[in-house]
């Protein structure tokens, strides 16, 4: 197969190299296009633009394939743990027993946060959304740890990575406790990573809190399923911000802010709001689907559609099964789950959704699962962020080791006024 493509514009031609990935994906390397032809590419939403070459996560959106470092998501979700997946994404291979022991010990060691964070959270309004509190507090970590901010010092990066993974559960739990006015719980490091998180979210100093192993396992699985998704909006935000050579904490805070949007990770909270509205307003699932077909971007069927998956989202299949399993094990009946299943059944057979290749995504059943196990809806996206953290970190580190590293700086086609002169205010 040709390894260059010829582009002719008017009487000028250029040979563009074709880059091929390990799974056969092909792309045109257009780097010389502007210097040799005076042209840029225009691709709103970067829907067909490769921003980097990456070895971390492979997605085939037509076949519904997702792999972390080559391993299918189904195998990882079934057999691994979130911390092991974090290691896999960040360091590139599954850890040996010793490597994992050291990693686990280091993450556990760093879970406590500076006591001054209590005052930091205290300064936020009570109704602050936990995602806003998380991004603010993760950004603030750079003020507490000025000793580890150099993105090109491997030792400093290592310490920041471990601190971030460890402290993020504590910060997320504090953000929630602040919003409900309960005392902050110190981490209890004899517990697993996920059990520690649940303890800090649900525990109080008044009673012993025993973590249900069924809930611990399902949260671990949800974190695994969210751990990376190649160049999505928040990951691209982390890479773009990080490309300015700012520290890891500031880069990750940018990712948290991007994730909060309802078109991205914030959709999991929106799905529950949608299901609850259908239940409470006496609307039928069919009426809601009809409304979502009007093309109004504010009335979409939340948890449906994906930029990359055009057949099915493999994470959704695993979550849906996990959702039924956990509800069955806990003996919980969920009206919201019934509505979700009905919506899915109607939408996947409806021409509007079929023609546009809109299928349920990762967020469609995750909110129902979180609700069934008692996670408050304003924490759903924070749990997504906890899951995505190792992916953001791995992508940020990969970018810094990339021989093609450059500050991210897209171009534009200017369509504003041509040269116009300043008019003094009295003459306007």
Measured from the CB atom, the residue of 82 and 364 that comes closer to ligand CMC is 364
Whether 306 is catalytic is: yes
Measured from the CB atom, the residue of 57 and 232 that comes closer to ligand CMC is 232
If one asks whether residue 265 binds ligand CMC (CB under 6 A), the answer comes out as yes
Q: DSSP string of 138-160?
A: HHHHHHH-GGG--TT-HHHHHHH
Please check whether residue 259 is in contact with residue 381, taking contact to mean a CB–CB distance below 8 angstroms: yes
What is d(CA 175, CA 133) in angstroms, rounded to the nearest whole number? Answer: 6
Structure tokens, 111: 């879970």
Site string for ligand CMC, 221-240 (x = CB under 6 A): -----------x--------
Supply the minimum distance, in Å, between the C-beta of residue 319 and ligand CMC.
Answer: 11
206 phi, psi to nearest 5 deg: -85, -30
Count Cβ atoms within 10 A of the Cβ of residue 238 and give its class: 0-12 exposed, 13-18 middle, 19 or more buried. buried
**Looking at beta carbons, which residue is closest to ligand CMC?**
305
Tokens 């492979």 found at = 58
Instruction: Among 79, 102, 263, 287, indicate the residue that binds ligand CMC (CB under 6 A).
Output: 263
Q: DSSP string of 15-39?
A: EEEEEE-TTS-EEE--TTHHHHHS-
Supply the minimum distance, in Å, between the C-beta of residue 388 and ligand CMC.
Answer: 9
Instruction: Among 165, 292, 318, 399, indicate the residue that binds ligand CMC (CB under 6 A).
Output: 292
Which residue in the list 306, 313, 350, 351 is annotated as catalytic? 306
Supply the minimum distance, in Å, between the C-beta of residue 136 and ligand CMC.
Answer: 21
Radius of gyration of the chain measured on its C-alpha atoms: 23
What is d(CA 28, CA 16) in angstroms, rounded to the nearest whole number? Answer: 6
Which residue in the list 220, 228, 313, 363 is annotated as catalytic? 363
What is d(CA 252, CA 136) in angstroms, rounded to the nearest whole number? Answer: 10
What is d(CA 42, CA 24) in angstroms, rounded to the nearest whole number? Answer: 24
Residues in binding contact with ligand CMC, number by CB under 6 A: 21
**Which among 344, 321, 336 has a CA at the least distance from the CA of 380?**
336
Whether 114 is catalytic is: no
Instruction: Among 305, 322, 367, 387, indicate the residue that binds ligand CMC (CB under 6 A).
Output: 305
Report the Cα–Cα distance between both ends of the chain, in Å, rounded: 62
Of 158-166, 186-194, 242-250, 301-309, the window that binds ligand CMC (rule: CB under 6 A) is 301-309
If one asks whether residue 73 binds ligand CMC (CB under 6 A), the answer comes out as no
**Looking at the chain, how many residues does it have?**
428
**Which among 370, 326, 363 has a CA at the least distance from the CA of 344?**
363
Of 13-21, 215-223, 300-308, 329-337, the window that binds ligand CMC (rule: CB under 6 A) is 300-308
Measured from the CB atom, the residue of 19 and 283 that comes closer to ligand CMC is 283
31 CB contacts (<8 Å, ≥6 apart)?
A: none
Site string for ligand CMC, 306-335 (x = CB under 6 A): xx----------------------------
Supply the minimum distance, in Å, between the C-beta of residue 194 and ligand CMC.
Answer: 21
Please check whether residue 160 is in contact with residue 149, taking contact to mean a CB–CB distance below 8 angstroms: yes
Q: What is the DSSP letter of 337?
A: H
Measured from the CB atom, the residue of 307 and 335 that comes closer to ligand CMC is 307
* CA 300 distance to own-chain centroid: 20
Supply the minimum distance, in Å, between the C-beta of residue 126 and ligand CMC.
Answer: 27
Structure tokens, 344: 């899915």
Instruction: Among 303, 314, 367, 391, indicate the residue that binds ligand CMC (CB under 6 A).
Output: 303
Instruction: Among 300, 344, 369, 383, indicate the residue that binds ligand CMC (CB under 6 A).
Output: 300
What is d(CA 212, CA 192) in angstroms, rounded to the nearest whole number? Answer: 12
Supply the minimum distance, in Å, between the C-beta of residue 17 and ligand CMC.
Answer: 28
If one asks whether residue 301 binds ligand CMC (CB under 6 A), the answer comes out as yes
What is d(CA 239, CA 251) in angstroms, rounded to the nearest whole number? Answer: 7
If one asks whether residue 387 binds ligand CMC (CB under 6 A), the answer comes out as no
What is d(CA 150, CA 168) in angstroms, rounded to the nearest whole number? Answer: 20
Site string for ligand CMC, 334-373 (x = CB under 6 A): ----------------------x-x--xxx----------
Tokens 């491997």 found at = 154
Measured from the CB atom, the residue of 313 and 398 that comes closer to ligand CMC is 313
Supply the minimum distance, in Å, between the C-beta of residue 103 and ligand CMC.
Answer: 27
70 CB contacts (<8 Å, ≥6 apart)?
A: 58
Instruction: Among 267, 323, 379, 399, indicate the residue that binds ligand CMC (CB under 6 A).
Output: 267
Q: Which residues bind ligand CMC (CB under 6 A)?
A: 45, 232, 263-265, 267, 292, 295, 300-307, 356, 358, 361-363
Which of the residues are catalytic? Answer: 306, 363
């Amino acid at each position: 197969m040709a390894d260059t493509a010829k582009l002719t514009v008017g009487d000028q031609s250029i040979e563009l190299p074709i880059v091929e990935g390990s799974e056969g994906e092909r792309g045109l390397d257009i780097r010389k296009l502007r210097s040799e032809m005076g042209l840029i590419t225009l691709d709103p939403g970067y829907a067909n633009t490769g921003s980097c070459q990456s070895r971390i996560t492979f997605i085939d959106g037509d076949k519904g394939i997702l792999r972390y470092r080559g391993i299918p998501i189904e195998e990882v979700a079934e057999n691994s743990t979130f911390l092991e997946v974090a290691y896999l994404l960040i360091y590139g291979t599954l850890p040996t027993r010793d490597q994992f022991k050291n990693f686990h010990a280091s993450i556990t060691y760093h879970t406590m946060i500076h006591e001054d964070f209590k005052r930091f959270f205290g300064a936020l309004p009570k109704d602050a959304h936990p995602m806003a509190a998380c991004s603010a507090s993760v950004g603030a970590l750079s003020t507490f740890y000025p000793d580890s901010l150099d993105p090109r010092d491997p030792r400093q990066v290592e310490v920041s990575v471990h601190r971030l993974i460890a402290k993020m559960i504590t910060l997320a739990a504090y953000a929630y406790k602040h919003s409900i006015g309960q005392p902050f719980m110190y981490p209890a490091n004899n517990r697993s990573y996920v059990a520690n998180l649940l303890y800090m979210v649900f525990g109080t100093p008044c009673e012993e809190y025993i973590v249900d192993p069924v809930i611990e396992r399902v949260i671990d699985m949800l974190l695994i399923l969210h751990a990376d998704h190649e160049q999505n909006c928040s990951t691209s935000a982390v890479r773009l911000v990080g490309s300015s050579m700012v520290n890891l904490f500031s880069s990750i805070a940018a990712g948290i802010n991007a994730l909060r949007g309802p078109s991205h990770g914030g959709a999991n909270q929106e799905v529950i709001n949608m299901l609850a509205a259908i239940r409470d307003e006496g609307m039928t699932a069919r009426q809601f689907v009809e409304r979502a077909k009007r093309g109004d971007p504010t009335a979409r069927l939340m948890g449906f559609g994906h930029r990359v998956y055009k057949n099915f989202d493999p994470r959704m299949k695993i979550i849906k099964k996990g959702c039924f399993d956990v509800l069955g094990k806990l003996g919980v009946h969920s009206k919201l789950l019934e509505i979700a299943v009905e919506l899915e059944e109607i939408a996947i057979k409806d021409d509007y959704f079929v023609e546009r290749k809109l299928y349920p995504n990762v967020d469609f059943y995750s909110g129902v699962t979180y609700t069934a196990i008692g996670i408050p809806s304003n924490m759903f996206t924070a749990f997504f962020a906890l899951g995505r953290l190792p992916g953001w970190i791995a992508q940020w580190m990969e970018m810094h080791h990339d021989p093609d590293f450059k500050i991210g700086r897209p171009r534009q086609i200017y369509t504003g006024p041509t040269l116009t002169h300043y008019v003094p205010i009295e003459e306007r």
